[in-house]
Structure 1
């Protein structure tokens, strides 16, 4: 059974990576670095985007099945293979060389995210019951996050918009996972039929977070390389889920203390550092900075011009 779960997890990582790759190609080919609703309408008619959606669905189903057969400590680390696969696929497609700095940034993302998940599994206990107050707090927090994200989409400057999309999408998907957990527990507890136990505010929050997060992911595809999108989601999504689980749902285990909190904070900082390095020194980003010598704004929120020199790649030292 364990080897079946491992095989499913590997297939899931491949499906998610390939789905991300194809959807990114579709979005980039039909946008100019900033996705609009009209452009997204054209994206939806793209066979590549549809193929990517199917592959993402297959990958998600494979991951759910793997988790049903094996512990999170086995399945979750395998999932980060998707970041490596996405990097290789994109590099081959656009014919760029993956630099040592890019690999180091990816290693920081993968290492930090993996140890974060393993530490969270070690020091937390899944919530077997969730109070009405806790489910309401989750809804209120998500509502606040949605307002913050909507304001950010209006106010954040172009050169910071790419990273904003990543972290906002990761935060929303983290709440999607939390809402799924809350709704699942509600269905399994209480009297009467399962649908009578569900708080529909949580259902509405789940749908809203999924839709808005999906839009931000598509916008991020238009703004930067797909491996950066996957890195951001891999890092932020579990952090938000664990934080809300510990602080709101009461999932802190009996052994959770300052040491566990410190480990989680360090792992989170390492992962975020990896995402930041990837956003600055990815070869595609560097190439766009170096080539941006005409008026206008390039992809990934880059403001070109002769006064803006490309960041130095430490791997060339």
Structure 2
């Protein structure tokens, strides 16, 4: 069973990576740096985007099956292979070699994320019962996150949005996992019909976080390389879920202390440093930055805020 789970986890990583790559290509081909609702309606009709959605769905199913056959300590670290696969696929597509800084950033993301998951499993004790007060706190926190994200979308400039999309989407998907946990516990609590046990506010929170997070992921595709999206979802998402579980849902093990806290904080810092490096030194980001600083005359450039190369007008000398 263990090796079947490992195989399913590998298939999940491949499916998620390929799905992310295809959806990113579809979004970039239909948008100009900042995705609008009209552009997204065109994206939804793209066969490439739909194929990516199918691969993401298949990858998710494989991951769920793998988790049902093996411990999270076996399955979860394998998922970070998706970041490597996405990087290679995108590099070959845009024909830009992967630089040393990018490999270092990926190594930090994978290493920090894997150690964070392993440490979290070691120091957490999944809650079998969640108090009403805890579910209320989750709702308040999610409402605050949605408010901050909404304000950020209104006030931030285009050049500031790439990392914002990444961290905001990862945070919201972390809350999706938390709400799924809460609703699952509610379904198994008490007697009577399921609708009598489940708090509809948590269901609504789950839907809002999933929809807004999904929109931010699509917007992130339009504003940066898909590796950044994959890094955000494999780093930020689990960290948010674990932190809320520890501090709100009461999942901290009895031996959780300052050593555990420092360990998780260090692993998180390593992963976030990797994401930051990836956002600054990815070859496509550097190419776009150089093109934005270059004179308007030349052979080929990239419009600031866009990931697509466009020909420059020749000078009339």
Match of residue 92 from structure 2: 92
Match of residue 150 from structure 2: 150
Alpha-carbon separation, structure 1, partners of 2:295 and 2:152: 27
Q: CA deviation at 1:233?
A: 1.4
TM-score, normalised by the number of residues in structure 1:
0.93
Alpha-carbon separation, structure 1, partners of 2:97 and 2:222: 21
TM alignment of 1:210-289, pairs within 5 A? 210-289=210-289
Alpha-carbon separation, structure 1, partners of 2:31 and 2:122: 43
Alpha-carbon separation, structure 2, partners of 1:193 and 1:43: 40
Alpha-carbon separation, structure 1, partners of 2:105 and 2:218: 23
Match of residue 61 from structure 2: 61
SS of the residue 2:250 aligns to: coil
Does 1:160 find its partner at 2:160?
A: yes
Match of residue 101 from structure 1: 101
Match of residue 197 from structure 1: 197
Match of residue 82 from structure 1: 82
CA-based RMSD: 1.1
Match of residue 297 from structure 1: 304
Q: CA deviation at 1:208?
A: 0.3
Alpha-carbon separation, structure 1, partners of 2:212 and 2:115: 28
Of residues 168-177 and 186-195 in structure 1, the stretch that sits farther from structure 2 once superposed is: 186-195
Match of residue 30 from structure 1: 30
Gaps of 5+ in 1: 301-317
Q: CA deviation at 1:294?
A: 5.8
Alpha-carbon separation, structure 2, partners of 1:213 and 1:299: 22
Report if aligned partners of 2:291, 2:304 keep a CA contact under 8 Å in 1: no
Alpha-carbon separation, structure 1, partners of 2:109 and 2:192: 45
SS of the residue 1:159 aligns to: helix
Match of residue 179 from structure 1: 179
Alpha-carbon separation, structure 1, partners of 2:135 and 2:190: 14
Gaps of 5+ in 2: 297-302, 308-317
Of residues 257-266 and 192-201 in structure 1, the stretch that sits farther from structure 2 once superposed is: 192-201
Alpha-carbon separation, structure 2, partners of 1:121 and 1:180: 18
